[in-house]
Chains A and B, each alone.
Chain A
Amino acid sequence: EAQVTQNPRYLITVTGKKLTVTCSQNMNHEYMSWYRQDPGLGLRQIYYSMNVEVTDKGDVPEGYKVSRKEKRNFPLILESPSPNQTSLYFCASRLSGAGETQYFGPGTRLLVL
């Protein structure tokens, strides 16, 4: 089944404790992206990647890191999480063509205490 998977789905952590949210897709998509969703602000793009070893900042990259060492994986790293990073995070992927549909993962709900 074609899908985007994220792990963990739910995470409670404390300020300053490094964490990684994994994202994996099995559709051989070139493009992958991370978003956060907050009440009243909607979805905002954090980082995106056009292909292996190619990443770029989105609208709200501060406090986050990403890497794209393999085509199927695009982990989101929070080196020192803070309470303002409490949010619902979505990973998405698509083929690189202009008319391609974006496929979203199920979301990761993060609470930083």
Chain B
Amino acid sequence: KNEVEQSPQNLTAQEGEFITINCSYSVGISALHWLQQHPGGGIVSLFMLSSGKKKHGRLIATINIQEKHSSLHITASHPRDSAVYICAVRRNGNQFYFGTGTSLTVIP
């Protein structure tokens, strides 16, 4: 069983829609990261969370430590948001475990 579960695996949205990607984890963590992987393969870190909520532009990430759950929201989605979004948890200070990713396609 994977320590990090993401849903949905695949998501197709119309441009302008509000998108939510969920991440649940089963282990104690020191931080949770959201990553974006572009079709060419490059990986960019979007957020690092240890509590509460963070916002960057149209992206919002939240975490509920007690429920072991995090969500990534994209408001007013755009075709350039099409990518794979990956949830990662940091344990024991330095070890990372990853979800298998959510593939998002935003249609114009």
Contacts and interface: CB of A to CB of B under 8 A. Distances in A.
Contacts of A107: 41-43
A39 to B, nearest CB: 9
Contacts, number: 55
Contacts of B42: 104, 106-107
Given A43-B86, A98-B30, A103 B45 contact: yes
Main secondary structure of the interface of A (DSSP, over half): strand
Interface string B70-102: 000000000000000010100001111111110
Main secondary structure of the interface of B (DSSP, over half): strand
Interface residues of B, number: 23
A50 interface: yes
B31 A99 contact: yes
A102 B45 contact: yes
Contacts of B101: 42
A42 B98 contact: yes
A50 B94 contact: yes
B44 A48 contact: no
The winner among A31, A41, A56, A102 for most chain B CB atoms within 10 A is A102
Given A90-B43, A98-B31, A99-B48, A43 B88 contact: yes
9 contacts: A45-B97, A58-B96, A90-B43, A98-B50, A99-B50, A102-B33, A103-B45, A104-B43, A107-B43
